[in-house]
Chains A and B, each alone.
Chain A
Amino acid sequence: MSEDENENKHEIENKHEIENKSKSESKSEDTGEGEPHRLRRELPAEVAPEAADDADAPAGTKDPSLTGRQRLAKGLWPPRISRAQLIVAVLLFVLGLGLAIQVRSNSDSSALRGARQEDLVRILDELDDRTQRLGDEKQRLEGQRTELENSSDQAEEARKQTVERERQLGILAGTVAAQGPGITLTVSDRKGAVQADMLLDAIQELRAAGAEAIQVNDVRVVADTYLTDASGGGVSVDRHKISQPYVFKVIGKPQDLEPALNIPGGVVQTLEKEQATVTVARAQKIVVDALRPAKRPDYARSSSQ
């Protein structure tokens, strides 16, 4: 006898039950009392013993008058050590063991433990693909990083050069202070005989001798500096009126600048002819700190852009 046969039997019983039910239903229809009768029919505790016969399982070693629920309760309590109980306990122990092991190994981090070989191969392939993809990506990103580092280095270099260039141009344009070796040319003109063109000659001579930054009194001399005779004596440089003594601070090579001023028939002699007192002093450190604002040209634009 196997479990399946048992089930077959049960199915037959079920059929019986259904037939009985339908019979009882037809009966209840006959008698006219519907629900109460059927309810009584389905509550086996209240039915008569002969009705219980076809209601529940008749076969088996146990008392056929018991319902399934009663049998369950009887089996559960009080605990009896019988052969059947022990065998079932052993088998259920095995089941519980297998269940627990399986659940544990499934919830383990190593979900691969119970995996089939083909699945493992597939997973391994996927992992290999993934590794390769990630390796490629890493290489690409590293290349990008190197590129960016290089370009940032280049940008830094370019920035440095730009700053350096700006400084140089700032000295030329007079927007930054400058210092270095040079000379100081002082022209004292108590009689007011020195004209703007004489000072301009001096500036031109200094430029020709390689002066890099020039300041007259408090005015920086740059490319577009102009000098005019001021009304009421004195000279105005770029609309700033300056008066004597005129002090030229010049940065450049002193060995070139001084002889350039002192050549016969040159600036110094011309000025002295006007009875001005001219002194030229070399210095290792001349500070040209008169500034002028940076001016943005209105029309001219760099053609290199």
Chain B
Amino acid sequence: MIAVLGLVVGVVVGLFVRPEVPAVVEPYLPIAVVAALDAVFGGLRAMLDGIFDDKVFVVSFLSNVVVAALIVFLGDKLGVGAQLSTGVVVVLGIRIFSNAAAIRRHVFRA
């Protein structure tokens, strides 16, 4: 419950406070958000499976974000940033879908 509240508060703060994002981080924000979404879906699935561990969640969340940003950063440096970020989004999207399928099986039994 508190976790859901945290998400809602985050969205509200982001919408109304309008914090300025440093320009260095800005290109990596979308990818980081997608990676974090992947981690959240993984965590939700683990919770439904009854194997949720907060330490694992924190580590996977942070490492997902960092690795995704790193890949995009590297891609930018190599000159294939756009393609590489597309690839990262595709991979993360596939993972999100598979996790969502598992969650769906749990919640709707279908």
Contact = CB atoms under 8 A, between A and B. Distances in A.
Interface of A: 1-3, 6-7, 9-10, 13, 42-43, 56-57, 59-60, 62-64, 66-69, 71-72, 75-81, 83-102, 104-105, 113-114, 116-119
A80 B2 CA distance: 7
Given A7-B42, A64-B50, A91-B36, 10 more contacts: A3-B39, A10-B102, A42-B109, A56-B50, A60-B53, A68-B50, A71-B47, A89-B3, A91-B39, A97-B13
A45 B4 CA distance: 27
Contacts of B14: 96-101, 104
Given A1-B56, A114-B26, A96 B42 contact: no
A105 B57 CA distance: 28
Contacts of A63: 50
Interface of B: 1-15, 18-19, 21, 26-27, 29-30, 32-33, 36-37, 39-40, 42-43, 45-54, 56-61, 63, 76, 79, 81-82, 102-103, 106-107, 109
A129 to B, nearest CB: 21
Contacts of A56: 49-50
A100 B17 CA distance: 10
A3 B53 CA distance: 9
Chain A, interface SS category:
helix
Contact of A116 (B19, B39, B42, B81): B81
B33 A95 contact: yes
A88 B3 contact: yes
A72 B48 contact: yes
A114 B23 CA distance: 8
Given A59-B50, A78-B1, A96-B11, A88 B82 contact: no
A151 B23 CA distance: 57
A43 B33 CA distance: 36
A289 B82 CA distance: 89
A71 B50 contact: yes
B39 A93 contact: no
Nearest to A115: B27
Contacts of A97: 10-11, 13-14, 19
B1 A87 contact: no
Contacts of A90: 6
Contacts of A76: 1, 4
B58 A59 contact: no
Contacts of B30: 102, 114
A3 B11 contact: no
Contact of A88 (B29, B57, B76, B109): B57
A118 B5 CA distance: 39
